[in-house]
Structure 1
Amino acid sequence: MSQHQPIRKAVFPVAGLGTRFLPATKAVPKELLPIVDRPLIQYAVDEAREAGIEQMIFVTGRGKTAIVDHFDIAFELEATMRERDKDMSVLDASSATPGDIIAVRQQVPLGLGHAIWCARAVVGDEPFAVFLPDELMVAQAGGGTGCMKQMVEAYGEVGGNLISVLEVPREQVSSYGVIDPGEARDNLTEVRGLVEKPPVAEAPSNKIVSGRYILQPEVMRVLETQGKGAGGEIQLTDAMARMIGQQPFHAVTFAGRRFDCGNKLGFVEATLALALEREDMGADVRAIAERLLG
């Protein structure tokens, strides 16, 4: 296996307003809305930790400090739980060692590419991962590995830049970013180009970009000088497209499931799917669903 600089840092763009979920997100960040009993952002951080990532960089905006607070020590809560002899292990996943959580501000909403660029000083001259928390990526049941761990393993072989992709029915491709594929083996596909929301008849494949990236630090230099693209925003897709041909670029087809929690239907679907799989409640949730549907 080739030796490549390890992926130690991950960037989480979490500055969005979450307007699709108003009024719930008026005072509570969308990323803290729970899927069953765990905030959406927690699933992404857990996935990063599984992949060996050590430092989480949150690109936040005004009113989003609660995301960082979630991973802090809650002295009063923990003291009360200890006094009452409560199970403290439920807080383990939301704990972080000092220095593992870093927050930077995106003062102006200029797009995903700009949000990533805001983390440039913390990323430094290292390759890094990007997680879009709205995309909830769930490993296959029965011991499957998470999306980023699959990507880190592929990165160990090929290096360069990687994105996660999923195959969707051909008629759905016009709603997503799609790769122009080259050579493929196993779950790894060479990326020759990226096309944003192509017409079905013109789509180069049915493999859609699905919210996980491993990028080389040179992307920050590209974003530095990049103008606005679609929607009047600085687009990460545009910067990645400029790096194709300059560095190795591959897609990893994720063996698992994706839930689009950026919209209400996907959020409800994820909540139901994960609740049904829980040993402590799955049977009861199934009974409730059958009763409601009956």
Structure 2
Amino acid sequence: MSPTDATVGPAVLQVRGLNKSFGANAVLRGIDLDVPRGKVVALIGPSGSGKTTILRSLNGLEMPDAGSVTVGARGATAGSEPAGAGGSGVVPQLPALSLDFDAKVTPKEIAALRDRSAMVFQHYNLFPHMTVLQNVIEGPVHVQKRPRTEAVAEADKLLDRVGLLEKKDAYPFELSGGQAQRVGIVRALALKPQLLLFDEPTSALDPELVDDVLAVIKELADEGWTMVIVTHELAFARQTADEVVFMDGGVVVERGPASQVLRNPREERTQQFVRRLLHEI
């Protein structure tokens, strides 16, 4: 299921001046970020640099202290975009939503933000008391109020796509880590979001299980999904991302095409980080 064609459209995500502190610790300090439609941005950087806090702010799981987030192209009208190969149905093209965190953000606005973005978590976050199928259709049926028969049919197609249709009646404890993460991806796709968010999607996996998950994400990127990915997999970021953003200390230190930032970074701090991570690999 692909939300866009290969043409680069207007920005699906615009972040301006995002700030967040936990007590005296300033985690985000004036973050600006743009993600064009159909493009993939990888966030890299050391632990504590603010990468995950950005993702959580984009899905309403964290409330920034200041700044704004806009999801959806400005001036867009409600409608839909066709699905691509391997998909099921259409992706709703919702009008742009702007949240101003300098003012009071309402629960209704947070719910609207979650209609437009979907998160794939580092540790899967599947409901342990639900089967795979129940996990996948929970959001479409109970949050988006879509017909259950429609949600089940789409879930079956998506699970088949990632090779897990035979696991639809299994419970999370019966899955390997790689299988659980692929279910997490399917659960996000089932919501038909305009923006996919991945928080270190392979860091909790055994090394031999990483490739299957990365292959699914790479396929989604090739289809034109708009994605923001927090990752420490530099080779994957170089192959998949259109832009890499290096963060440290709550600020953007360097950004640019993946080939430039990861092969020939300009900033000394970026050079140190990339050398260290590649040496560890």
Who wins on radius of gyration, i.e. which is larger?
A: 1
Between 1 and 2, higher relative CO (CA 8 Å, sep ≥ 6) is seen in: 2
Same fold (TM over 0.5): no
